[in-house]
Structure 1
Amino acid sequence: MHVITALGTGGAERQLELLVARSRQQSAVVALYEGGPVADAIRALGVRVEVLGMAGAARLTAVPRLVRLLRRYRPDVVHVHLLAAQLWAIPAARLAGVPVVVSSEHSLMDDSMEGRPLTPALRGTYRVLERLASHTVAVSATTAQRLQRWGVDPQRVTVVDNGIDVDALRFDPAARAAVRAELGVDDDTLVVGAVGRLEPVKRMDQVLRAAAPLLRDRGAVLVVAGSGSLAAPLAELARSLGVEGRVRWLGSRSDVAGVLSATDVLVSASRDETFGMAVVEGLVAGLPAAYVECPALEELPAPVAAAVQVPELDDDDEQVAALGRVLAQLADEAVARGLQRLPVDPALRSRYGAQPAADRVDAVYRSLTGG
């Protein structure tokens, strides 16, 4: 039984969808707060999804409700994802007598966790929860190294790189035409894509400012797929930059593959990444990518030609200018080749395929349950 905070369209949620679709185990999923597009997709796989609706005062009953649910299902393994699930579901699983509790660490940074500052209280709470769990799965070697710096025993951590459905992300001309028609963009217009939550850590304000010259001077369109608390401020920023008519705010989308097919260049200003899912998915879709941080690329044996890293700079304006220069370079190259796709680096396919990731997680379950 997987337990996760909610089932919208974030990276951890989509990883869970890929995992239950390919696992060789029988699965069920619990969302603590709310469902969403990923909940619908998981149900379509024939997997049962329970949504507890834990908003507000309902949090006070989270542990007993989870204990009752787990005693009814009697799972061999409870696998928790994200901090809220760790906080409520790890103690509940132990109270319910579940023999194995696995915790996936998706969003641990050097100084924050899921956007929360790493206070001594949070760090202490996390260490207690880690010891209550049987084992931790880290979504990248970078994440495992951060856990080790926290004092977590490396023998209690297994690295399972995030998986990507490479075949589903293959360029689709029909999807390109359909999404562009939906957005009112003709086939010859350069489209810059950005995928991610509209939250501070993703720095979509820098993306807007870096892309603004392309939008104003060259008639490009910026497509932003994602939702979050900064939606209104970002829309106001687009207006102040004079590019509001050249930006398409898509909100949360379940058809990321279609959005990427409609895109010509990908840009990510995100910092404090544990993996860099949006960047890797763009590269797998054959897009050139300008990015600031992507541990998944750093862990490959050789650079990926289609990806250009922008160094992290202390000055915000200098950061935007550097990102804008790389983005303009990639845009020029894309136009020069007629907006055709780039070949996909074989290393991305071999290392980050979805089925190998699911198989490795299944192997963790088998090792902890004695087979």
Structure 2
Amino acid sequence: RLLFLSPPFPPPLFHLRSAQKDKPKFLHINSRWRPPFISSLKPTNSIKLPLNAQTSQTPLSKALETLAKLKPFLQTNHQPILLGWLCSSISVFSLSQIIPRIGSLSSNLINIVSISKLRDQCLLLGVFVLVKLVACYWQQAFLWEASLRTVCQMRVFVFETVLEKELGFFEGSDGVSSGDIAYRITAEASDVADTLFALLNTIVPNMLQLFAMATQMLVISPSLSLISAIMIPFMALVIAYLGEKLRKISKRAHLSIATLAAYLNEVLPAIFFVKANNGELSEHARFQRLAYTDFSRHLAKKKMKALIPQIIQIVYFGVLCVLCVGSLVISRGSFDGCSMVSFVTSLVFLVEPIQHFSTALFKSNEELALRAGSSLLLKSAFEKCCGKVLLRSVFEKFECLVLLLKSAFEE
């Protein structure tokens, strides 16, 4: 008689509890410590990755919770972040010294002062401009280093933990798709790097520049500063409206190309079935309709992207005209040209952070719309991940990787 022997089944891993290790102060790439929001591995294939899950939390509490979960990764890069913010403060200080000197230099050029005085003023102005340019470069370099290093650490940690998963996590009808995880670790993490840089660049550098330029404008002319305070929110509303409009158009354009690709993936493998049923004409008409829809939506997107800079320039020109007229009416001749040049220069640099914010908003909307189109092919739930403001999209992008970590590795 033959006896078939089989090895005993190993005990389930979810009954094993690893000893709690002391957490180091900072998380390094080669560290085996897990952040506090990641618990031990779950060996069964009982969950899929919930993307952008709906919760009862408010957006602010969700944003704060997400940043708290990312704190271990950001703490390891505190040095480049602080250095970048220090460079931004140096840049803003140089800018605050440049603006009054530009006004005085323009006044001296009109009044024709001595050459030696002009030379000294130009030399000092050039030094401050050089300091500002160097500080801006190092600010961008340090903040990009912090953003990319944070994403690198997140990628390494996620992949390391995925390698520790059991085969059952990937198998079966409820298993997590390996392609989905690969997409999150590659493309999704790249979006996180861009958005993290925009967030770090908005928290301190842009706010410092806004505060410094507003202070300069108040010192030069409180009355014109009041007019500017009324006009700037109008500019922000116009930019927000254009960003929302572009987001909707971009989403429709990316969904159209995703629909076209999904149709090709459906009909090309079944080409023998189409020919057997003489469906060439109907499929050709359907493809032609989808191609024309994609053409019209992408054309609308390109037209909108070409129209937005023109509208913003018109708004800026209108604000400048209002300020010039207001200076003539309010000052009644007491507002000299030197002060006017300094005030307009301060206004230009006050609007610059708003332009950076709007550029990041448009780019973020483009990425969110592209992700919504890709979700049709990946059969994911990313169509709902479309924030209306930059910070909301920041936290939603962060939440995608955080949800990946929590759902894939929770108990």
- TM-score exceeds 0.5: no
- Looking at secondary structure, tell me which structure has more strand per residue: 1
- Looking at secondary structure, tell me which structure has more helix per residue: 2
Query: TM-score, normalized by length of structure 1?
Result: 0.23
Structure possessing the higher radius of gyration over alpha carbons: 2
Query: TM-score, normalized by length of structure 2?
Result: 0.22
Highest relative contact order (Cα 8 Å, sep 6+), 1 or 2?
2
